[in-house]
Structure 1
Amino acid sequence: MESRSKFTGKVGFVLAAAGSAIGLGNIWRFPYLAAKYGGGMFLLIYILLVMSFGFAIMIAETSLGRKTGLSPIGAYRVLNKKYSCIGAIASIVAFLILPYYSVIGGWVMKYLAGYVQGETIAMATDGYFGGYIAQPVEPIVWQVIFVVLCGVVIIRGVKDGIEKVSKIFMPILLILSIVVAIYSVTLPGGMEGVKYFLLPSFEHFSGMTVVAALGQMFYSMSLAMGIMITYGSYFHKEDDLEKSVKHIELFDTGIAIIAGMMIIPAVFAFSGGDETALSAGPGLMFITLPKVFANMGMSRVIGLIFFLLVLFAALTSAISLMEAVVSVFCDEFKWDRKKATIIVTICAILLGIPSSLGNGIWSGFTILGLGILDQMDFLTNSILMPVGAFLTCIFVRYIIKPQVFIDEVKQSSEFKREKLFVVVIKYIAPVCIVAILVTSILSTFGFMSI
């Protein structure tokens, strides 16, 4: 078996890990959740959670990967073979998210192609998005293209594939995001959206605001998916782990804030300050925003730039999901990278087809009122991820003990937030994770509104 690759240094690791964290969760999911759960109050709670809860879980996962030099299953097995099932859960999460995430990535590619071809008005019409995703063939074609692009990057390896693409995409994504955000903020009426998004109001505080912010943090920081364990295994022992995680936090939070500044002021400007226009869920990106762009000057250019940056974000996240799965196959079955990538690519395409058809000819197949894509999202994000994260906290606290992870971090850094790590991983994180799990299940079964 080929020797394990490494990132060339801290910058490569930070950009790759940040690229994983910065995906559709930041560009699409964060703005509409922020709008739904109180704007500035949601943002404030989210930042506090990222700097505490998110920091502790990410330190645990990346230090586990660096200490063992293995993908999730092997990493847990080396420390205690009885608990390799935790790594298996994380690997299954990545394996299941990649196919339906790629379906949405395909939608992004379709819209980008639409702006390239000048279909600005057509994409802003009622029924365009619903009509498109209901088609049996074209969405699958775009999904296949999206998955193959990810596979090409993964085959090239850690240095020449993941790291190189991240070093190119991340700066471009940041620049494009800032350009669109500045445009949105300067629109007539846009400043009302800025105030709503940035200024906390305690009248918007509720338990659901905390739970929603916690769930979003989980999703956007790529926790409990095996990704940070895998990327941690490519991280050099001498590079500062704590500082790197801090930079990932800043990247993730920064892009989330910029995404809010892109979308919320623009929708405020063109809806006359109607906050309900922000609660469209997936429609915010694919239905509401094309209408916004169609009313802007240089609408084709703005739409093209926006969906280009969304595509970059979606690709970097999907690449990390695929890498987490490929690394497991390489470690567990001793396959070479090319063979593992081809098999994972084929599986992602085949498993993604039902999620795509579930919006059209298979739309009648529902469980608890959820379509196929939503079923996969519920299973991974609302069940498996919280369960895996909870078991990780138990593993760190009772089985291996926090000191093992602290020692790993201190090989390359002072670990200034050591006490925070211990308190969160022992007491706060388990309670919060259970809250996410219970709330998600109750809301899905209709016992509460989320």
Structure 2
Amino acid sequence: MGVAPIGSDMALDSIRESWTTRLGFVLAAVGSAVGLGNVWRFPFQVGEGGGSAFLFVYLGFVLLIGFPAMLVELSLGRRTNLSPVGALREFGGGAWRYVGGLFVLIVFVIVSYYSVVAGWVLRYFVDSFTGAYLGRSGEHFGEIATGFDALFFHTVFMVGVVGIVALGVRKGIEVAVKLMVPAIAVILVALAAYGWTLNGAGAAYAYYLSPEFGTIAQNWTTILPAAAGQAFFTLSVGMGVMVTYSSYISEDRNLFEDAGGIVALDTFVAFTTGLVVFPILFTVGVDPGEPGPGAIFITLAGALSEIPFGAVVGALFFGIVALAAASSAISLLEVAVSHLIDQRGASRKRATVVVGTAAYIAGIPVAYDTVFVDLYDILAAQILLVAGAILLMVLVAWLHPQEAIDELEAGVGELGFLGGAWVWLVRIPVLVVLIVSLYLGVEGYVEFLRGEFADFLFG
């Protein structure tokens, strides 16, 4: 039985916003994907995963798992013209009406700690002009990562994001991403070209680009969930973001082209970030495997003091990280805000202030101690996000495959065997990878709780 597009309801159409242009949607989706997941999380994930070993698995997940999964979210969002909670209720019915709340929880958890990390970025951007972290990056990060400084910049960032989202889809989100995303791409390419001139570039490229299959085989239980989580995190798949953003687009759009453009641009930014970060680290002899979320704030910032024009490079790098953080946080907040608008009838401004304030409060523990970054990040990226993706794949590919194929064909034409191939790709390989990744992610999270977090709680 088909699912009637909710957008046919004239009353809803009269209040629901839409994108002004196709470019606006693509850039907004790319802006969601091109965030801290690419320029903060990606470098230290690559370092912890052994360089090219992690990169190779990550790219495989992006192409074979991320792209088909993104089509699932785009087709669901456009089919229902609703945010995730309403979309699952309308598309799945029955018990599925209770599942959509998971996606609100996912984005809520992510944006709460995301804002604190973005506050660190803002602080480093400001400090790039004074050189405050040059030559003492470790001490500087320890001084600003927690306490009043962290709380202040957490506040500044959240207020900015709330202000943009409150303006709406066209006047706020679309205008912001049309400025942010091109700026990120241009500056990143310039920094990558600069990295190519450094003495350590050759060794960095060998570390980053030469696949080491032995490392993959030896450490697959660690690399696989991390790479899967990173692929879904950076593409904003499993969060409900793409469901929400695609609910604002028209039926004549080619979702294959949109998904391909989003994946390509996002992967380009992530890959190029590695071409910036690793030549700098290898030039000054810094271990790229330095673990933890403070990697770019300690290892990279420390390296900047030893390379030519380090302060300028630092200002540009942390500037694009700040823009990327803002573009992603906007999309995350929009998922929860659109839920209150669609399902609760709240005004956009009221919904934005309520969600932003709640996420701000939830982020306060992260500003108290950095152990909460891992507590939130592992839970969101390797458990909740993957679980959300599994549920979406089951709903669309197993329970309503024909409706999804019909939606994809709306902007393309008859898919023929390609439609069935896409469904079975999602049904088997995508789901198997996700289920295995979820199991390993839960196992790793339990180890974290018993180890590092237990040490924090009990001294």
The alignment's TM-score, normalised by the length of structure 1, stands at 0.91
Given that residues 22 and 220 in structure 1 are in contact (C-alpha distance below 8 angstroms), is that contact kept between their aligned partners in structure 2?
yes
- Following superposition, the deviation at residue 150 of structure 1 comes to 0.6
Return 223-232 or 413-422, whichever deviates more.
Answer: 413-422
Instruction: Indicate conservation of the 8 Å contact 2:44/2:296, yes or no.
Output: no
| Correspondence 1:75 to 2:87 | yes
- Residue 267 of structure 1 aligns with an amino acid whose one-letter code is L
**Equivalent runs, 1:178-189 vs 2, <5 Å:** 178-189=189-200
Kindly indicate whether residue 105 of structure 2 is the aligned counterpart of residue 104 of structure 1. no
What per-residue deviation string (whole Å, max 9, x for no partner) do you get for residues 109-140 of structure 1? Answer: 11111113342436x343221222232x2211
Matches within 5 A, 1:343-362: 343-359=354-370
Task: Quickly say closer, same or farther: Cα 1:212–1:348, change in 2 above 3 A.
Answer: closer
The one of 272, 275, 288 aligned to 1:258: 272
Residue number in structure 1 paired with 2:321: 310
Query: Does the C-alpha gap of structure 1 residues 69 and 302 become closer, same or farther in structure 2, counting only changes over 3 Å?
Result: same
Structure 1 counterpart of 2:389, one-letter code: A
Task: Please name the residue that 1:341 is paired with.
Answer: 352
**Alignment-derived partner of residue 408 in structure 2:** 409
SS at match of 2:99: helix
Structure 1 residue 419, shift from structure 2 partner: 4.4
* CA contact 1:26–1:256 (8 Å) conserved in 2: yes
Asked if structure 1 preserves the Cα contact closer than 8 Å seen for 2:137 and 2:299, the reply is no
CA distance in 2, matches of 1:327, 1:25: 22
How far apart in 1 are the matches of 2:75 and 2:434?
20
Q: Which moved more, 1:323-332 or 1:410-419?
A: 410-419
Three-state SS of the structure 2 residue aligned to 1:395 is: helix
Q: For residues 390-437 of structure 1, what are the alpha-carbon distances to aligned partners after superposition, in whole Å with 9 as ceiling and x for unaligned?
A: 12222123332x121111011002459534421221111221111111
The match for 1:93 is: 106
Q: Give, in angstroms, the shift of residue 298 of structure 1.
A: 1.8
Q: Do 2:113 and 2:373's aligned partners in 1 also have CA atoms closer than 8 Å?
A: yes
- State the TM-score, normalizing by the size of structure 2: 0.89
C-alpha distance in structure 1 between counterparts of 2:372 and 2:379, whole Å: 11
Q: How far apart, in 2, do the equivalents of 1:409 and 1:323 lie?
A: 24
What is the alpha-carbon root mean square deviation over aligned residues?
A: 2.0
Number of the residue aligned with 1:367: none
Distance between the aligned counterparts of 2:17 and 2:137, measured in 1?
48
Corresponding residue of 2:6? none
Cα distance between partner residues in 2 of 1:120 and 1:445: 35
By how many angstroms is 1:171 displaced?
A: 0.7
Q: Give the SS at the match of 1:296.
A: coil
Q: Which residue of 2 aligns with 1:65?
A: 77
- Which segment is superposed worse, 67-76 or 126-135? 126-135
Match of 1:51 among 53, 57, 63: 63
**Is 1:246 the counterpart of 2:245 in the alignment?**
no
Q: Which of 145, 148, 151 pairs up with 2:162?
A: 151
Q: Does 1:160 align with 2:171?
A: yes
CA deviation string 1:52-97 (max 9, x = no partner): 2111211111111111111111111112322022321111111221
| Structure 2 counterpart of 1:298, from 294, 305, 309 | 309
C-alpha spacing 1:437/1:309, structure 2 compared with 1 (3 Å): same
Runs of 5+ consecutive residues of structure 1 not aligned to the other structure: 360-370
Equivalent pairs, count: 432
Contact 2:195 2:201 (C-alpha < 8 Å) held by counterparts:
yes
Q: For 1:281 and 1:180, how far apart are their aligned partners in 2?
A: 23
Distance (whole Å) between structure 1 residues aligned to residue 321 and residue 430 of structure 2: 31
Query: Matched residue of 1:117: which SS?
Result: coil
Question: Structure 1's 338 and 423: CA in aligned 2 closer, same or farther, altered over 3 A?
Answer: same
CA distance in 1, matches of 2:267, 2:372: 30
Evaluate the alpha carbon distance shift between residue 384 and residue 305 of structure 1 in structure 2; reply closer, same or farther with a 3 A threshold.
same
Contact 2:92 2:395 in 1 (8 A): no
- Residue 8 of structure 2 is matched in structure 1 by none
Gaps of 5+ in 2: 1-11, 452-459
Alignment correspondent of 1:364: none
Q: How does 1:227-242 map to 2 (within 5 A)?
A: 227-242=241-256
Matched, 1:6 2:18: yes
Q: Give the 3-state SS of the residue equivalent to 1:126 in structure 2.
A: helix
Query: Structure 1 125/65 Cα, relative in aligned 2: closer, same or farther at 3 Å?
Result: closer
Please tell me the residue identity of whatever aligns with 1:408: E
TM-fit CA distance, 1:443: 2.2
Conserved in 1, the CA contact under 8 Å of 2:52 and 2:210? yes
* TM-superposed deviation, 1:254: 0.4
Q: Residue type of the partner of 1:236?
A: S
2-structure distance, mates of 1:292, 1:420: 48
Q: Which amino acid aligns with 2:250?
A: H
| Contact map agreement 1:355 1:373 (CA 8 A) in 2 | yes
1:134 aligns with: 146
Distance 1:170 1:78, change over 3 A: same
What is the rounded CA distance, in whole Å, between the counterparts of 1:36 and 1:342 in structure 2?
37
* Letter of the structure 2 residue corresponding to residue 6 of structure 1: S
Contact kept in structure 2, 1:185 and 1:266, CA below 8 Å: no
| Distance in 1 separating the partners of 2:377 and 2:169 | 28
Change in Cα spacing, 1:284 to 1:355, as seen in structure 2 (3 Å) is closer
- Secondary structure of the structure 2 residue equivalent to 1:446: helix
Please give the alpha-carbon distance, in whole angstroms, between the structure 2 residues aligned to 1:167 and 1:35: 31
Q: What is the distance in 2 between the residues matched to 1:126 and 1:42? A: 26
- Whether the 8 Å CA contact 1:66–1:234 is kept in 2: the answer is yes
Q: Give distance in 2, aligned partners of 1:311 and 1:4.
A: 30
Partner of 2:447: 446
Matching of residues 183-198 of structure 1 within 5 Å: 183-198=194-209
Secondary structure of 2:59's match?
helix
CA distance in 2, matches of 1:185, 1:32: 20
On the 8 A contact 2:280/2:307 being kept in 1, the answer is no
**Cα separation, 1, equivalents of 2:440 and 2:203:** 32
**Kept after mapping to 2: 8 A contact 1:42/1:213:** yes
Check conservation: 1:293, 1:300, Cα contact below 8 A: yes
Instruction: Tell me, yes or no, if the aligned pair for 1:16 and 1:166 is still in contact at 8 Å.
Output: yes
Q: Percent identity?
A: 33
CA contact (8 A) 2:225 2:438 kept: no
1:353–1:59 distance in 2 versus 1, CA, 3 Å: same
| 8 A contact 1:185–1:194 mirrored in 2 | no
Letter in 1 for 2:311: R
Q: Distance in 2 between matches of 1:408 and 1:138?
A: 48
2:410 aligned with 1:431 = no
